[in-house]
Structure 1
């Protein structure tokens, strides 16, 4: 029996490096823009960090909803779980808020549907980012910090698509008539 997992060593390493770089750049930008604008530093940092974290959670929900919507276009029923149900991982310090899109029943997913469902969040997040740039282009020229924070948020959320990219790479290597069946979050059986 062959399996497809949402982790690929090269994609995971690149995504991790990109994420570390973004989280390293974020505080530097935060302090730099607070100093430039002569804001009171604690309030500026608290406000931006709160907004940044809120958007992280919101865009994570959008990511999973994109999977569910794409699946519904192929008449597949899904359920979105927002909690890490594995108590062992929760004790080990892994995230409690860990959303995932689960297929109901023993759904057999065609290759084209599988790739479409997996790529949907990256396309959705990219469209949201482009819309953000278009709607706020005059505002962004005056407040460049919003632009930089938006870019960092976009890159960090695209890093969240790395598991989906690993699944796409694995699916594209399979033969034409192959089908996929979900075992658990991020793991699929190749039929």
Structure 2
């Protein structure tokens, strides 16, 4: 059974390892912020204040949470630059993450970038609507063709008259079947 002194020494050494690893993590964030910008990393919130940095834990790297005073004391004892070096590393890492966040965020309201984005989405919707329209036109043309061929095949006068009447009604609704807008592709013949 370990005694109280060995437990305290174990905790003290964990804090030292933890603060050194925290410092190395902050340097890595500063150098490659895009790798750590995912919301699940929760680094942006941890870097906001000194207290939130102390409360931050990262199990993968064995970085343990602690009080701010404990973090300051551990940094003074275990880092060459002390607490000031750790806090400077926090600020630089925070600035790097914020820069990445700004780049990745959507454009601000009322900006040219926002207008360009909305225009692009509208153009995509318009192109999809055109495609859908010409698919529908192709289907209607196919149905009209099939109806004409059935009327001819069965040679029933009443059926032929009804098909011609229905064809005229459909063509009146879809006058663009014969006059497609410029640049539009024709559907099925």
Alignment TM-score, normalising by the size of structure 1 = 0.24
- Which structure's residues are more often helix, by fraction? 2
Computing the radius of gyration over CA atoms, which structure comes out larger, 1 or 2?
Answer: 2
Alignment TM-score, normalising by the size of structure 2 = 0.24
Using CA pairs below 8 Å that are at least 6 residues apart, which structure has the higher relative contact order? Answer: 1
- Which structure's residues are more often strand, by fraction? 1
